[in-house]
Structures are given as C-alpha cells and as structure tokens.
Structure 1
C-alpha cells in the first residue's frame, strides 16, 4: 500500500505541475488486487501537487471505501476508475482536467477523430491510413451511469479495432489507463498532445 501511495503521489505532482490537476481536482488509481477488485485511489479534497504516500484510500469494485483511512475519503469518481479497471483489465487509471480534452469534448461530442498523426503509434495505432476515435460521454454525477455510458462506447465489437485507452468526459476532462501507472501517464500525455493539435487546427471558428 505504501508503494502504491508513493507512486500515486509522484505522478500526481507531475500532473499538477503540467496544470492538469489544478488544486484538488483529478484523481489517480492503481489496482491492488482483482479477486475481489481493490484499488488504491488518491484521497479527495487534497492538493494534488502536495500528496504524500499516505494520501490514498482503498476502494472496492463500486468505488466504495474499504476499511477506515483516518478520515480520508475517495472521490466520488472512484467508481468510474473501478469500472474502467474491471472492463479494460488496466492496472492504473488517471483522471485529468487537461483543457484540450474539455475543449475537444465540447467541439466533438460524438467522438474526436484523429488520423495521420505520428503520436497515434503510442496509442497502439498506425500513424497513417487509419482513423481513430477517442470516445466522448456526457458528464454526470452518478458513477454507475457514467460507467454504463463508458461501456456503451468502449465495448461494441465494431469498435474493438479502433480501441484507444482514453475516454473524454464532456465539459469535465479525460480518463486514460494502462497496464502500469507509467503507461497510463504515457497514454494521457500522448492523448493530450493529439487533442491539443486537433483543437488548434480543426476546431470550428
């Protein structure tokens, strides 16, 4: 648990420095076990640039607190972290408020199309000759409904070849995931670059 907290604190500081976790916003998680599903999640209400290894809580498959963490509590969004980890098999999930993702979700609420960009290789796709769509779902406060909406855009067989480890929440931010916390960070960084490029070159004027 200490190692998970230490890793989450380091990544939180990195993202805060980028301006993607301003103040207490955003949250990160890593899977601790799968039978039953347990995740370590950054605690709610704390400055994400100043977390310590102790500033994490453990949640179950519904994002509910497991045990007592000396007054610390998980974000309400922990439930979506758990759903993403369960559905995708990811071992780490990051939720960030990069402005590029918020703008992209506003401009393209049905999904953000990306093509002919070298950075797509980092998301598991060809740099040319392939169109990739980052899915967008509407914002909401019920994480069970958010999880259902995520599954609707992620699971259809027709989209499996187009799969990306990124989800945009309209008017909110993005989630990215990976086999490790480092890979989840890479996916977030690549997606942010792709979204920023697309917003700056293709957004309606």
Structure 2
C-alpha cells in the first residue's frame, strides 16, 4: 500500500475520490467534452494542508479507474513521494480555485462551445433572460450574468493571477458565477460537491451553446 504524505488521507479516501472522478470523466467524455486525454477533474480531500485528488496526466478520460488519480498539494505538485505518475498539468489552477472559492470539486473540460464563446467574447460572455441561469445561482430575468474569460498560458501561476483578476467573490448582492472560460482551451466549473460542480458545468455549457447558436443564427 502506498504511504501518503498526508496521514489523514487514507488509501480508501483516495480510491473513493478516484472512483467518483472516473464516473464523472466517463460522463463528460460521452458528451464529447473530454476527447482523448483532454481535460482534468479534481476533488478536495483535505484543507489543512490543502490536498486534492486530481486525474493523472496522459490517460484516456473515457477509461479512467479509481486508481487513476494523483494526490497534489496547494501548488498542484504531487504530494505522494512514492507515486511516480505526473498530475495533470493544470493541477495548480485546480488547487488555486479550490483555495480561492472554497469549492470541493473542480472540473475542467474542453467543451467546443466554451472555446468558441471565448473567441467571440474575449471580455466575457454576457447572458440574460434565460431560465437556465437559475442553475448557476442567478435570476432568470432582469439581470445580466457574465461568464469570465481569461487568456491561456502554460504557467499555472499566471493563470491563477488571471483568475483572481476576474473572479468576484460571492456576496448577497453579487452571486458567484461558478465557471470560467480559458480562451482557446476550455472551461472550468466548480461546486461544493461533485454533483454541484457537474450541474454548474453542464448548465454553463448549455448557456454558452445557446449564445453561440444565437450568434450564428442571427448573423
């Protein structure tokens, strides 16, 4: 059995997280959002210190098993000295989003409409008067909701700073938008549970698909 560097996290906890993330990855791959090895998913296992289970790099996301996750620290680096596998390249941004928002699950996929929307609206995608906005915590009418867009970079410390520049912490007056687009890359969504993160991802993707479709239909 692997000896983890965080004693409070057991092998069983890591495998349970792996099973949950494998299930979600298969679902998203079936939607065409995680083609081949693209995308990555994470689940917070501890917050003091911050530890996340993140899908391992280079694996087909439609075929993951409970063992295909790597334990990472607050910097997105491997937290298990005995595990030779590389965590996802975006693990640092997962950890940053978890720390910044308090989310327990963070999902990153390469949904095509998110990439197109980021290209069409690089300053952010504004959406209003759609019933599905309720699914990401916003009123369906009379409020403009903006899905932020940030530029892509291979350095996750750069991406974390860009995230901070556009992320607005939730207040009673300004609810959180639990998703962000990375231009030319894909999107992230997060939530307090695996189910919440999934719903936020699915609903945001639908909203973006609608906006892209309306743009194409009215040109």
Secondary structure of 2:145 counterpart: strand
> Number of aligned pairs?
205
Taking a change above 3 Å as real, the CA distance of residues 144 and 48 of structure 1, as seen in their structure-2 partners, is same
The alpha-carbon deviation at position 70 of structure 1 amounts to 4.1
Larger radius of gyration: 2
Mapped contact 1:30–1:93 kept (Cα < 8 A): yes
Runs (4+) of structure 1 moved beyond 4 Å? Answer: none
User: What is the CA–CA distance in structure 1 between the aligned matches of 2:148 and 2:175, rounded to whole Å?
Assistant: 10
Q: Equivalents in 2 of 1:105, 1:184: separation in Å? A: 20
Q: Where does residue 30 of structure 1 map in the other structure?
A: 43
Aligned to 1:63: 76
TM-score with structure 1 length normalisation?
A: 0.96
User: Are residues 1:188 and 2:201 paired?
Assistant: yes
Whole-Å separation in 2 of the counterparts to 1:21 and 1:157 = 29
SS at the partner of 1:81? helix
Match of 1:109 among 119, 122, 130: 122
For 1:69 and 1:186, how far apart are their aligned partners in 2? 35
Q: Which residue of 1 is the match for residue 103 of structure 2?
A: 90
CA distance in 2, matches of 1:69, 1:103: 40
Structure 2: 5+ residue runs without aligned partners? 1-13
Residues 35-184 of structure 1: matches in 2 within 5 Å? 35-68=48-81, 70-155=83-168, 161=174, 163-184=176-197
Is this contact kept in 2: 1:133–1:162, CA < 8 A? no
Unaligned runs of 5+ in 1: none
